[in-house]
Amino acid sequence: MLNLNSNKINRFKKLLDSYSYDLITQTLADRPYINLDSYLSEKKGEILIKLFYFQKKFLIRELECNFGQKYIDELLQLGVLIRNNNYISSLLKIHSLFNLYFASSYVDYRALDYAYFGKDSLLLSHYLPYNFKSSSTLDLCTGTGVQAILMANNSTSIIGTDISPIAQNIAQFNVLLNNVEDRVKIINGNIYEPIGKKKFDLIISNPPYISIPNSFEYPICGNGGEDGLLILKKIISDLDLHLNQSGVSLILGNTIGNDKEPFIVDYLKSNLMKFGWDIEIVVIEKHPKEEEMFNRTLLLTNHNIVSSKNAQAEFQNMYERLNVTNTYIYLLRIKKGKGSIKKTNIFENSINEKISKVTDVTSFKTIEFLMINSFNNGHYKRVVELYKVIDKFHTTFNIPYTKELLYIINQSQGKQSIKKT
């Protein structure tokens, strides 16, 4: 657990600030192919990026020489760094977004509980209602507290709740790291349970929503039960008790569905409209089920949770049983009103449809994403392996490689991986 000493946390923030950690890692998150060479001539800055963004370990001697023994001891006391024999590594990954800092757990996927920060965290952060002035905001399933902290300038008071004590601790650390402790409070507990009967102007959430066969143990940050709606249904069923009359709720989700639409639409029609809610559902991504299965199977098998064959069979059974052909990512905006539902699709249909006909491998978009991730983590061999898969799609569909991808492929070929792939 992190030690929540605000003076020490502030000194840590100043250190990151003094080497432009925020600007550099924000750029890296968007453009992982960027050439860091000129920056890396700055020794201390290079160490910070490698330690807190790329999770590289360092000899204690090297860290003490650069930052001083007293300072390294302070980070060890905070629990940010951990010592293993002569080496020191970071227990956190520090991300940056809108010039703020967000620590998340250094993820070991075998762990069932950790403070998650991912692609969906970034996604929701871009849709938050920054122009909505709220006197009270609730961020359900707050994780690292990212969305709660991002809303700090627009809300008088914000509460983030999360069932994970690890997430709560890291979110509290992030609250102090961004100096918003006067407005943002993080409470440990199950969905609305920690807030009693309190009502809010704004309720936001990026809940766990991945559709996972019941037979698997899956990290709690992602597990949405078989239909992916386990937590979402609980959030929605009590929304009436916690949203003010003129309040708004914004939820990011990912659900299974058929070719026409995500199954959530039916659920919303039968459960929310009767309470007189006006619901907007904007579907922003549509994926063939094979792609989702590929992603989940990769995650489960990479870390020896189950064998690849078993994982695929379980997903296939579940999808067949539930008549799933696709998965969708969507945003839900809910207000009190007359009882209406408006659905808008803004995903690129044509490419996804072409890909959904390919049943042996997943779509190139997922693989592109995995390639960028692998490159970022120094898994160059994996990048080359994935390139062999992706090349087939690029040729079949005559899709040109992006500049970024070409750079990643060229850089990875013939290069030793820095981590075991």
Ligand X SMILES: C[S@@+](CC[C@H](N)C(=O)[O-])C[C@H]1O[C@@H](n2cnc3c(N)ncnc32)[C@H](O)[C@@H]1O
Which chain residues interact with ligand X by CB under 6 A? 116-117, 121, 124, 141-144, 146-147, 161-164, 167, 190-191, 206-208, 220-221, 231
Around 266, how many Cα atoms within 13 Å sit in the side-chain half-sphere?
10
Q: Who contacts 5 (Cβ-Cβ below 8 Å, separation ≥6)? A: 78
Cβ at position 205, least distance to ligand X in Å? 7
Nearer Cβ to ligand X, position 115 or 281?
Answer: 115
Nearer Cβ to ligand X, position 162 or 292?
Answer: 162
Among residues 208, 189, 100, the alpha carbon closest in space to that of 138 is found at 189
CA angle 239, 244, 249 (to 5 degrees): 50
Nearer Cβ to ligand X, position 143 or 257?
Answer: 143
- Residue indicated by tokens 């757990």: 105
Nearer Cβ to ligand X, position 167 or 281?
Answer: 167
Cβ at position 3, least distance to ligand X in Å? 21
Nearer Cβ to ligand X, position 112 or 346?
Answer: 112
Q: Based on C-alpha coordinates, what's the Rg of the chain? A: 22
Evaluate whether 341 touches 269 at the Cβ level (below 8 Å): yes
The enclosing H or E element of 79 equals none
Where are any strands of DSSP class E within 114-199?
A: 134-140, 155-162, 184-188
Which residue's beta carbon is nearest to the bound ligand X?
A: 143
Cβ at position 164, least distance to ligand X in Å? 4
Cβ at position 137, least distance to ligand X in Å? 13
Cβ at position 353, least distance to ligand X in Å? 28
Evaluate whether 256 touches 319 at the Cβ level (below 8 Å): yes
Cβ at position 140, least distance to ligand X in Å? 6
3-state secondary structure of 13: helix
Nearer Cβ to ligand X, position 163 or 279?
Answer: 163
